[in-house]
Amino acid sequence: MKSQPPLGSAELPGPRSREICAREQRVASPGAQKIATLAGLALERGEGALLWDVDGNAYIDFAAGIGVASIGHGHPRYARALAEQVARFSVGSFSTERRARLLELLVESAPGNLDRAQLFSSGAEAVEAALRLAKSATSRHEVMGFWGGFHGKTGGVLGILGSEFKHGLGPLAPGTYLSPYPDPYRPPAGLRGDDLATACLEFLRQKIRSETTNRIAAIVVEPVQGTAGNVFPPLGFLSGLRDLATEIGALLIVDEMITGFGRTGRMFACGRDGVVPDVLLVGKGMGGGYPVSGLIARDAFAQARPYALPSGNSSSYGGNPLAAAAALATLEILREEELVERSRRVGAVLLERLRAVAHRVPWIGHVEGEGLLLRLELVRDRSTREPLPGAICVEIFQECLRRGLLTMAYSPSVRINPPLVLDEELAERGAAILAEVLELVAERHSGI
């Protein structure tokens, strides 16, 4: 077993990080990702599930660039694949050996009869393409999304974002609707009952009946909501959506940008419910850090026009030689190092440790997860489930960082999604740091 480095530092950010971040702050626009802004660190390198800043401090990474670094940091084979390709050529959309193999692998990995794949350069771009595909395939225009859903920040998807993010950014695309998502810990709109999945499905049916023009092209859903806090719906919800989409002639678009390629301990999270979507969207972890995303669809839908017209889906960078090299290396590493299985195994250890912490720390209202996609809800009071105030959460985040754990604890809905190469030892060390910090900060605020 490798010896682990000392983690974190009492003095964070260190002097070099402070200097580099201050230089950036003078010229960078505001609006950068919260985790980076709060940490104030300049990073230098990574190895596996560890990151080092420019002052030489090491951190266990429980965030993975928000679910992107599936194969961890600095993987030698990934680095070689990109270096080789960059030395040959980097641009354009001509076929390459690597891209042909990548597309074959994507189609082989996808469930059921999804047999056409197309590459893009960001998640939002792939979601936009899926909406164009659905409109082309159905000659309809309405789209249904869910409360809490997240699919990117471009204009075409704003209407299906189920959060305050879109406030002030209207008007939204006409024909976009949202319906409650079954969050068992925080049931939406007072929907109760033993069968939350059925209640949400019935709500959706009523919504379609009473609010839409009954021209639904697509239902777009995350099989587990990532941005909303790694929210796992009850089994039966996704399969119910599958049945409903078939019944009304809409496409079921499952957005697996976060959940895909092993994150939940299965290749795809739609497998939890045995669902084969009409369109599967992938990104983030499939590229190991290179900006690449994909849309995998049934042939009959992928042939629909205008989606399928020449240049109907091309973009400057979509599936370029570098993207193909990066994604192919990532998927080969995932297979050869059996990272889907590892995500299941190490995720189970981490979940068990966090459950043990929850016994000691009353602030933990709820813990759940599958594979290395875990949800931890921090609450003021377990019985009311009132979220812990944001300022205390930021304190928890900073104290974790000082002890060498980079985790998204700055919000009361803590999302834990480390690289899939995390091992049991680092998982346990990370959980121990979180436990120590929660106890320390709870003690500090014992009056609240």
Buried b (16+ CB within 10 A) or exposed e, 406-439: bbbbbbbbbbbbbbbbbbeebbebbbebbbebbe
Piece of 193-201, 250-258, 269-277, 315-323 that binds ligand PLP (CB under 6 A): 250-258
* Closest CB to ligand PLP among residues 183, 395: 183
Piece of 22-30, 136-144, 148-156, 374-382 that binds ligand PLP (CB under 6 A): 148-156
C-beta of residue 298 within 8 angstroms of C-beta of residue 79: no
* Closest CB to ligand PLP among residues 14, 271: 271
- Residue whose beta carbon is closest to ligand PLP: 123
162 binds ligand PLP (CB under 6 A): no
Whether the upstream peptide bond of residue 306 has omega within 30° of 0, thus cis, is yes
151 binds ligand PLP (CB under 6 A): yes
Q: How far is the CB of 361 from ligand PLP (least distance, A)?
A: 28
Planar angle of CA 150, 332, 368, nearest 5 degrees: 40
Q: How far is the CB of 46 from ligand PLP (least distance, A)?
A: 20
* Closest CB to ligand PLP among residues 226, 365: 226
End-to-end CA distance of the chain: 43
List 61, 183, 255, 278, residue binding ligand PLP (CB under 6 A): 255
128 binds ligand PLP (CB under 6 A): no
- Binding pattern to ligand PLP, positions 269-288, x when CB under 6 A? --------------x-----
DSSP per residue over 262-320, as a string? TTTSSS-GGGGGT---SEEEE-GGGTBTB--EEEEE-HHHHT-TTTTSTTSS--SSTT-
244 binds ligand PLP (CB under 6 A): no
List 13, 152, 159, 288, residue binding ligand PLP (CB under 6 A): 152
Q: Within a 10 A sphere around the Cβ of 130, how many other Cβ atoms?
A: 30
State the amino acid at position 261 in one-letter form.
Answer: F
* Closest CB to ligand PLP among residues 122, 179: 122
DSSP class of residue 338 equals T
3-state secondary structure of 232: coil
Q: Measured between alpha carbons, how far is 307 from 447 in angstroms, rounded to an integer?
A: 59
179 binds ligand PLP (CB under 6 A): no
307 binds ligand PLP (CB under 6 A): no
3-state secondary structure of 369: strand
Q: Measured between alpha carbons, how far is 35 from 397 in angstroms, rounded to an integer?
A: 9
Number of residues that bind ligand PLP (CB under 6 A): 14
Q: How far is the CB of 5 from ligand PLP (least distance, A)?
A: 30
List 102, 119, 124, 435, residue binding ligand PLP (CB under 6 A): 124
List 102, 161, 217, 257, residue binding ligand PLP (CB under 6 A): 257
123 binds ligand PLP (CB under 6 A): yes
List 8, 46, 162, 226, residue binding ligand PLP (CB under 6 A): 226
Q: Measured between alpha carbons, how far is 21 from 311 in angstroms, rounded to an integer?
A: 41
Q: How far is the CB of 293 from ligand PLP (least distance, A)?
A: 6
Which of 350, 226, 233, 241 shows the shortest CA–CA distance to 285? 226
Tokens 């994909």 -> residue: 294
Beta bridge partners of 379: 387
227 binds ligand PLP (CB under 6 A): yes
Residues binding ligand PLP (CB under 6 A): 122-124, 127, 150-152, 222, 226-227, 255, 257-258, 283
